Amino acid sequence: MIAAEGLGKRFGEVEAVREVSFAAGDGRVTGLLGPNGAGKTTTLRMISTLLVPSAGTVRVDGIDAAREPLAVRARIGALSDARGLYARLTARENIAYYGELRGMARRGIEESTARLAELLELGPLLDRRTDGFSQGERMKVAIARALVHDPPNVILDEPTNGLDVMTTRSLREAVRRLREAGKCVLFSSHVMQEVAALCDEIVIVSRGTVTATGTLDAIRAAAGCEDLEDAFVRLTGAATQEP
Amino acid sequence: MIARALTVFLKEARDALRDRRTALMVLAASVIAGPLILVLMAQFVSGLEDRALTRKVRMAGAEHAPALVNFLSRADVEIEKAPPDYAERVKAGSLDAVIVVPADFHERWLAHEEARVELVYDDSRTESSPAIRQSERLLDAFNRETAFLRLLARGVSPSLNKTVKVERVNTATPRQRGAAILMIIPMFAIMATVLGGMTVAIDATAGERERGSLEPLLANPVSTLAFALGKWLAAWASAALVAAVTLAGFVLAAELYAERKLPSLLQFGVPEYARYLAVLVPLAALTAALEMLISTYGRSYREAQTYVSYLSTVVAFVPLVVMFSGGREAAWQAWVPVLGQLVALQRILRGDGLSAFDALVPAAIAMALALAAVAAVARLLRDERIVFGRS
């Protein structure tokens, strides 16, 4: 369960995010939809405690992120905007490093790696060094690394960016299975189809603030359009015309 | 936190061991540099010997040895009268070598008794050795000529060949002789700690940022101090290891190669090696921590490399300043990082005693500064501008 309340972030003169509020529930996939530069990544960084908000609060499973950042981090698995791997380590070693950093025992890491390899179809890659990996393979390892501790809350920042169709499909399937497992999945994307296909709840972000929240149907109804793309253009376009 | 720091250390160490750049650095430092430096030093020494000499000797009591003076004039050698305080001057280095003739020389020489002269010198300064050799050679030649003429005059075959006995009075201890050449080893050892930790320090900070692995790493529930500590330990281990391997190369090369050309080098043996490591390991902690601190500001591996090269320039400059200023050792030098280590390393080579003060003060200062730098790195890793770039 992730709850953002009046989140704002300033970088000097620039106000990247302001008044962002939404709640992402357990057992649901919540999509943060918005064009590039809308403030999605900044919002997700504040939720994963890497950035300190200039305003507002973040609560993860009821824990205040500003007061107990380490406790919040322990309850989150985040695929961040930057997702570099260690090229001289194998996929398994990359995943195990994060497990060890989270204080897991060797056995727990092994079991978790096996489970994630199954979920993300990583099997044959596990014992290869990651320097020759394709973008999709790297993405899968980065996700496995972020989820090694089986966190109740999963944050995925543009996970399908630059992936081919097959990898995107298998990733979508993985997200659905995470939802079935009762996780709170918070997912950001600038691709409407993706969000439409996957999300139970959609939060549209434009120019640093939330312009609409609700299910796919609710969003379409609010914009008065059948098509999500039209609704998206209308909702984000409306924001651009505000003073 | 210690457990997490250890996790970070083990990962960085494994990563570094698989890095070809690290392997190359160790190889270059140990296998190539040690022997190479020794060859260069041997060349330097023989170059000094071959250098054209002004034919001049300094004598005290020349009036007691007219025969020797006569011989030297015939050999076209200029004779200069030595000042009365020649012993002090030799020790201080303003005189190279002085031939001292006792008052009874001429009588004994005429009586065909063993006539004594003293050759006073200090060859711990390499620049003195040509003048010393020259005096030795001239005295030898005089000795041979006299013996030859006497035997000839008696119609005896020249089997008696010692009329003059040269007693050497060298004011340097045997170990100090080699140390004059071996000032290079301390400099090399200090640079090894700088170069040895560089790859790991940069890779673990700027490299991590360039790869895009810093942001996800910091999302783990681990304090930035644990990250900084673990990474520093890895860089420190690398720096210490490279220094150890480099010096081991020196010890080995000295054993194998220098026996003929540089006998003094043999005094860089295992006990000196152990003392060297005791000085260099704390220094490596400091150089590794400083390199990390500097590299944390670098956005890319290359940028950080540039910054770190400034640091190595500064460090390389310290020994040079000492070498060329010809400064004496002073107590305050122990308090200056790098300079304190340099003085300690020189004393070890010279065989002078290393007091607890000389050994512990530089080590304590290096460790304190290293820990401060690590704390600064931990702070920087909490800085949004550092982690996400200067946006």
H or E stretch including B145? Answer: helix B129-154
CA distance linking residue B105 with residue B124, whole number of Å: 29
Residues B283 and B149 in one domain: no
- At residue B51 the predicted structure's pLDDT band, cuts being 50, 70 and 90, is very low
Q: How far apart are CA B334 and CA B158, in angstroms?
A: 60
Q: Which of B140, B169, B198 is the last residue of a domain?
A: B169
Chain B residue numbers touching A52 (CB-CB < 8 A)? 384
- Pick from B169, B193, B214: which residue ends a domain? B169
- The verdict on B69 and B202 lying in the same domain is no
| B274 and B198 within one domain | yes
Domain that holds residue B264: 2-45+176-388
B210-220 pLDDT tens trace: 999 999 999 99
Q: Does the distance separating the beta carbons of A11 and B391 come in below 8 Å? A: yes
Average confidence (pLDDT) over A210-220: 88
User: Which residue in chain B has the smallest CA separation from A143?
Assistant: B216
Mutate to test the interface with B, among A92, A97, A145, A149 (most CBs of B within 10 A): A97
Quick count: other Cβ atoms within 10 Å of Cβ B266?
A: 13
Q: Are strands A55-60 and A2-11 parallel, antiparallel or unpaired?
A: antiparallel
CA distance B82 to B187: 36
Could you tell me if B278 and B329 lie in one domain? yes
Lowest-pLDDT range, A159-163, B18-22, B152-156, B171-175?
Answer: B171-175
Give chain A's contact residues with B (Cβ, < 8 Å). 11, 45, 48-52, 70-71, 73-74, 76, 78-89, 93, 97-98, 100-103, 142, 145-146
Element at B238 (helix H, strand E): helix B224-256
Which of B126, B150, B169 corresponds to the end of one domain?
B169
Check whether residue B261 and residue B162 sit in a common domain.
Answer: no
- Is the pLDDT score of A231 beyond 90? no
B299 and A CB contact within 8 Å: no
Same domain, yes or no: B365 and B259:
yes
B204 and B225 together in one domain: yes
Number of domains comprising chain B: 2
- Kindly state whether residues B210 and B359 are assigned to the same domain: yes
Mark whether B346 and B253 lie in a shared domain: yes
Q: Calculate ∠ Cα B337-B340-B346, nearest 5°.
A: 140
| Residues of chain A contacting residue B8, judged by C-beta atoms under 8 Å apart | 101
A119-174: per-residue pLDDT in tens? Answer: 998 989 999 999 999 999 999 999 999 999 999 999 999 998 888 888 899 899 99
Residues of B in contact with A85 (CB under 8 A): 211, 213
Q: In this predicted structure, what is the pLDDT of residue B160? A: 55
- Residue in chain A nearest B218 by alpha carbon: A50
Question: Is B202 in the same domain as B351?
Answer: yes
pLDDT category of residue B23 using cuts at 50, 70 and 90: confident
Residues of chain A with pLDDT > 90, as a percent, come to 69
Same domain, B63 and B159: yes
Q: What is the pTM of this model?
A: 0.77
Rounded Cα gap, residues A58 and A70, in angstroms: 13
**Nearest CB to B216: which of A71, A83, A102?**
A83
Same domain for B180 and B165: no
